[in-house]
Amino acid sequence: MNRQLAAYGIRFWHGDIRSASDLESLPSADWVIDAAALPSVLAGLDNRSSSRQLVEHNLFGTVNILEYCRRSNAGFILLSTSRVYAIRPLSELPLDIAGKRFAPRFSKIEIPGISSAGVSEEFSTAAPVSLYGATKLASEALALKYADSFGIPVWINRCGVLAGAGQFGTAEQGIFSFWLHAWRSRRSLRYIVAAAIQLGAREFLTFEINQLARLSLPADLRSTVRNSLSSGRLQ
């Protein structure tokens, strides 16, 4: 990865965002993209990281980056998550089964922030959200306050599933690369969510599959996976 970045003239410093002194030694920058996190919705609950570690990486780490931005007068872009949205109203949405997917029954849905275009910022972020979602929601609130108090430009992107370069098929990196790698190693394709809003899921796969296959798989498997996914025959 470092060599790939270097090819684009990008310099690389190794550091831990939990350590304020690691950020103090960095040169100034115009913008910072905060993409460092324990990104799993199960983080803090799955025996791979504790709840305290989750808060240290995702929230305290973000505070250190915000302090860096304040000192350097740098803009701040937070990769937040759709997991900031309230779990209960989402899980209680009336759903129909449309073909092989669930689809919200919009005629019965009157709560703000949900429409055929998906979930918007109007949707509730009331607790409980997951531990992961809570660290991101708290990071968002702090980032907006730093913007307000110190004049730092701040953008927050509540990402859904990210899929692309450098993903190696861990579940927390997104279900698409997880499925690709599971298929490659001949494991069964599992899905841990009981009901999901998957509007446009097929289109997303078709659109991204060239890039995903190129980045994630050896050459001999790429066209097989691409053809299987495009025709909906991933088995």
Ligand X SMILES: NC(=O)c1ccc[n+]([C@@H]2O[C@H](COP(=O)([O-])OP(=O)(O)OC[C@H]3O[C@@H](n4cnc5c(N)ncnc54)[C@H](O)[C@@H]3O)[C@@H](O)[C@H]2O)c1
Interface residues with ligand X (CB under 6 A) are: 16-18, 35-37, 39, 57, 61, 79, 81, 159, 161-162, 173-174
Strand partners, 33: 77
Nearest distance in Å: CB 201, ligand X:
13
Q: Toward ligand X, which CB reaches closer, 77 or 234?
A: 77
Give the pair of three-digit tokens for residue 145.
């306050």
Nearest distance in Å: CB 58, ligand X:
7
Q: Toward ligand X, which CB reaches closer, 83 or 217?
A: 83
Nearest distance in Å: CB 165, ligand X:
10
Q: Toward ligand X, which CB reaches closer, 22 or 222?
A: 22
CB 139 within 8 A of CB 56: no
Nearest distance in Å: CB 193, ligand X:
13
Q: Are strands 101-104 and 114-115 parallel, antiparallel or unpaired?
A: unpaired
CA distances from 67 to 18, 46, 124, 172, 201 (A): 12, 30, 29, 27, 38
Strands (E), 72-151: 75-81, 95-98, 101-104, 114-115, 118-119
Q: Toward ligand X, which CB reaches closer, 78 or 229?
A: 78
CA 222, 227, 230: angle at the middle one, nearest 5?
120
Residue 26 contacts by C-beta under 8 Å, 6 or more apart in sequence?
Answer: 13, 15, 68
Q: Toward ligand X, which CB reaches closer, 39 or 104?
A: 39
Nearest distance in Å: CB 213, ligand X:
18
